[in-house]
Chains A and B, each alone.
Chain A
Amino acid sequence: MREFRYERAADPAAAVALLAAAPDGAFLGGGTNLVDLMKLGVATPDVLVDVRELTSREVADLPDGGLRIGAGVPNADLAADRRVRERFPVLAQALLAGASGQLRNRATTGGNLLQRTRCGYFTDVTKPCNKRSPGSGCGALEGVHRNHAILGQTIAGSDDPATCVTTHPSDMAVAMVALDAVVRVLGPDGEREIPIAELHRLPGSDPSRDTTLRHGELVTAIDVPALGMPSRYRKVRDRASFAFALVSVAAALDVRDGVVRDVRLALGGVAHKPWRASAAEYVLRGMPATEASFAAAVESELEAATPLRDNAFKVPMARNVVVRTLLDLAGRDTERELA
């Protein structure tokens, strides 16, 4: 592990200033991802600015019925919050589907959003990986990639510096994307708000960048606007608990008189970012809430899939998980649930 300094700052502005002066520094939340990556030699910050106790640990009500979630709120606390469980079951379920109790106690909302990929080539410094070591190639394209992406990858050959086929590992972020959350950020140039769909990126020609955040920008809170329809999260993994998603879905569905009035759909485990299934949503609005419509919608989304040698199983898996989840939600009457 590289030598580094550990710093606690007086307030968020001071933390941002500390990092602005340290081009190789990093914020530290719960450390459940960053400390791991430092031990592995994958992350080599020279300064750690601890923000876990600095950013808010509060979940506050917004006037519209939404919630402002402080970046320092532990994953376990957020999942247990009564308002989250009542208004945004999809979010509580996604959090509880992630990691273990010990890790959720420690992990923060901000850190969860910005956790890095679990690709085995990324975490092994002896292997080629464009994300960790730009230009070194992509070990996963021809290697072990059973749990990699099926949508939006950059596939240009193992030696090409743009190639990256990995996924974003967060469950919580998938729910946040379905919920149209807004990420509040404090940087050297002041505050800004980023719609969460614009936070995580596809690899494009630069797989080293997971997000559109600039160096030294501190996530201070995440706003989740009111939803007004039933929602849920469903995750398929290799064992019943404590494993990353093969495929997951965050869904919300508003059905009135048998017709889909509104729908939100995001997929996890399928792309470099949480995948908002906009094509499927578009197809579904105004359609009868039937298995046939749900299947047609998700199939239109998955037409764009470009599975790898060993992960084509994810395409039918995603289809089936989405259909099942929407059917579950369609069995519930929106007006009665919200009364």
Chain B
Amino acid sequence: MRITTTVNGTEHEVDDVWAGESLLYVLRERMGLPGSKNACEQGECGSCTVYLDGEPVCACLVAAGQAIGREVTTVEGLATEGELHPVQEAFVEAGAVQCGFCTPGLLVAAHDLLERVPDPSDLEIREALAGNLCRCTGYEKILDAVRLAAARQARP
């Protein structure tokens, strides 16, 4: 099967994709974009979160064929011209990263939240990130990072 998908603004074409591959596998193993992580492969942890046609999804549960002709943005697509996105900067500054495995998924989820809700309440942050599990940080620093990014966004 041939997969043609626009990823981070660039059209990618991959041949000989087996139908049983997930979008996550295609991104990581065929397109050389290992930013999105594979952990549970079951939709439980959110470490594989990418935008598919503008909406965050778990790439591990998207069958490769379902990505044909669609637009994907991965964590690699958040930074522009070598400049980290403010959400990424906030994660670094707040110390929201330990082992880093959950980070790419959290960045996409947090990025999406702040696009939709510029000034989220703590409850809104918690609910928006409920699909992203982190085994290291205890979440407090992650909440700090999202609050920081939101505040910066309000006063650039």
Contact = CB atoms under 8 A, between A and B. Distances in A.
Interface in A88-109: 99-103, 105-106
Given A5-B19, A99-B131, A105 B63 contact: no
B126 A76 contact: no
B99 interface: no
Kindly state the interface size class of chain A when it binds its partner. Answer: 20 to 34
Contacts of A5: 19
Contacts of B109: 101-102
A112 to B, nearest CB: 13
B41 A242 contact: no
Contacts of B64: 6
Contact of A6 (B19, B22, B126, B131): B19
A13 interface: no
A62 to B, nearest CB: 27
B86 interface: no
A70 B132 CA distance: 29
A163 to B, nearest CB: 26
Interface in B1-31: 1, 19-20, 22
A260 interface: no
B126 A105 contact: no
B61 A6 contact: no
A94 to B, nearest CB: 15
A196 B57 CA distance: 29
B57 A102 contact: yes
A39 B130 CA distance: 24
A50 interface: yes
A241 B127 contact: yes
B61 A32 contact: yes
A4 B56 contact: no
Contact of B130 (A4, A31, A101, A106): A101
Nearest to B19: A6
B88 interface: no
Given A105-B52, A241-B126, 17 more contacts: A30-B61, A31-B62, A35-B22, A38-B20, A48-B65, A99-B131, A100-B130, A100-B131, A101-B127, A101-B128, A102-B109, A103-B43, A103-B57, A103-B131, A106-B62, A241-B127, A242-B131
Interface of A: 1, 3-6, 8, 28, 30-32, 35-36, 38-39, 48, 50, 52, 74, 76, 99-103, 105-106, 240-242
